[in-house]
Amino acid sequence: MPLHPTRVRLASAALLTVAGLVAAGTASAAPAPVAPAPVAAAAAPDIPVANVTAHLAQFQSIATANGGNRAHGRPGYKASLDYVKAKLDAAGFTTSVRQFTSGGRTGYNLIADWPGGDENQVVMAGAHLDSVTAGPGINDNGSGSAAILENALAVSRAQLKPAKHLRFAWWGAEELGMVGSRNYVNSLATGDRSKIDAYLNFDMIGSPNPGYFVYDDDPALEKIFQEYYTGLGIPTEIETEGDGRSDHAPFKSAGIPVGGLFSGADYTKTAAQAQKWGGTAGKRFDPCYHSSCDTTSNVNPTALDRNADAIAYALWGLAAQ
C-alpha cells in the first residue's frame, strides 16, 4: 500500500528538521535529507584556547618591550593594533584604522569587515585593545581582544558565508572613558546605526577568579549566551558590576541592541558564587584589575576558553539567520 502523501510530507519535514539540528551541532547521527534542504547554518567551531593564549603572550611581549603597558597614546597600543591588523589582513578581512585624538594623543580604532553578508544587517563584536598605564592589561582587556581576534580567524578558516554581515572592532582609549567606541558610534550616519542588528562587547573574559556574567541589556542577545552556558551546565548571573562601564554603552545609547560577557573585575566573589563556579570566596574576581600584575599569569584559561567558545556560538547563530 502506498504511503499517504501527507505522511510523506511530514516525514520529509522531520528529516529536514533533524538535518538542521545536526548542522547546528546538537545531534550526532541522522539520515541524509531526502530532498534538497535549505542551506543549513554551519555549526559554530570550538575556538582553540591555545590560539587565544598565544595572542595574549604576544600582547604581553608587546607591553614588556614598550614600558610595561599598551595604553592609549603609548607605543604599546599601536604595536598591539599592528599585531591584530596583520593577522586579520592575512586572513582576508577588510581592515581600516580610524584615528581620533584624546588627551592630546592620537588614538586608533581597528575595524575589520568579513566580506559578504547583508550589509543592512550587521552583527558586530568588539573589545577594547588599550590597557591602563599601570600594566600590560592582559585580562583587561587582552582577553576580549584575543578572543574576538581568534573568532575572526575562525570565521576565515571556515570561509563562513553568513546571511548577515560580520564586523569586528578593537577600540582605543576605552580606559579614558570609552573614547574610541563613542567616536565610532558618533561617526555613523543615522541610517548606518539602524543597520547594526547587534553589538556584542567583550571586556574582561578571563578573570583569574572567574564569574560567568551575561549582559542583560537585550533579552534576545542575553538568551543566546544563557543558552550556551546552560548547555555546559554552568549557571550565569546578570552583569551588574558597573553597568555601562564599557564600549557597549555608546551603542546602547544610540539605540543599538547590545550584549556581552564578563568574568568580573573589582568585586569580591561571594560564597554562593564560589559554590557554583569554583574559585575563591572573599577574593576579587580580578585582584590585578588595573594593576601591574595584570600579566599572562592573571588569566583563568578555562573561563577564557568557555567565553571564546560562547562568542563563536553567538556569532555563528546570529549571523546565520
Q: Which residues are catalytic?
A: 174
**How many other C-beta atoms are found inside a 10 Å radius of the C-beta of residue 31?**
9
Cα–Cα distances (Å) from 302 to 43, 70, 125, 209, in that order, read 21, 24, 21, 11
Tally of helices (H runs) and strands (E runs) in the chain: 10, 8
Report in angstroms how near the CB of residue 3 gets to Ca ion at its nearest: 44
**Which residue's CB is nearer to ligand TRP, number 211 or number 279?**
211
Binding site for ligand TRP (CB under 6 A): 140, 174, 203-204, 239, 241-242, 245-246, 262, 265
Which residue's C-alpha cell is 592589561?
137
- Entry field: residues in the chain: 321
Q: Choose one: 67-75, 110-118, 144-152, 297-305; the region binding Ca ion (CB under 5 A).
A: 297-305
- 140 is a site residue for Zn ion (CB under 5 A): yes
> Is the Cβ–Cβ distance between 160 and 42 less than 8 Å?
yes
Binding to Ca ion by CB under 5 A, coded x per residue (else -) over 249-288, reads ----------------------------------------
Cα–Cα distances (Å) from 227 to 126, 147, 232, 237, in that order, read 21, 19, 9, 13
**Which residue's CB is nearer to ligand TRP, number 239 or number 309?**
239
**Which residue's CB is nearer to ligand TRP, number 215 or number 228?**
215
**Which residue's CB is nearer to Zn ion, number 174 or number 309?**
174
Cα–Cα distances (Å) from 263 to 93, 165, 240, in that order, read 29, 28, 11
> Is the Cβ–Cβ distance between 28 and 45 less than 8 Å?
no
How far apart CA 303 and CA 305 sit, in angstroms, is 5
Residue 192 binding: pick among Zn ion, Ca ion, ligand TRP, none (C-beta 5-8 Å cut-off by kind): none
Map the footprint of Ca ion across residues 49-88, applying CB under 5 A.
49
**Which residue's CB is nearer to Zn ion, number 140 or number 217?**
140
**Which residue's CB is nearer to ligand TRP, number 150 or number 239?**
239
Map the footprint of Ca ion across residues 33-52, applying CB under 5 A.
46-47, 49
Cα–Cα nearest to 280, from 204, 213, 210, 233:
210
Q: Which of 175, 197, 294, 309 binds Ca ion (CB under 5 A)?
A: 309
Residue 305 binding: pick among ligand TRP, Ca ion, Zn ion, none (C-beta 5-8 Å cut-off by kind): Ca ion
How far apart CA 208 and CA 266 sit, in angstroms, is 12
How far apart CA 74 and CA 14 sit, in angstroms, is 58
**Terminal CA-CA length for the chain:** 40
Report in angstroms how near the CB of residue 45 gets to Ca ion at its nearest: 8
Report in angstroms how near the CB of residue 140 gets to Zn ion at its nearest: 4
Residue 58 binding: pick among Zn ion, Ca ion, ligand TRP, none (C-beta 5-8 Å cut-off by kind): none
Report in angstroms how near the CB of residue 204 gets to ligand TRP at its nearest: 5
The neighbouring-strand residues paired with 107 are 100
- 166 is a site residue for Ca ion (CB under 5 A): no
Residue 46 binding: pick among ligand TRP, Ca ion, Zn ion, none (C-beta 5-8 Å cut-off by kind): Ca ion
Cα–Cα nearest to 70, from 86, 90, 55:
55
How far apart CA 30 and CA 45 sit, in angstroms, is 20
- 247 is a site residue for Zn ion (CB under 5 A): no
Interface residues with Zn ion (CB under 5 A)?
140
Residues that bind Ca ion (CB under 5 A): 46-47, 49, 305, 309
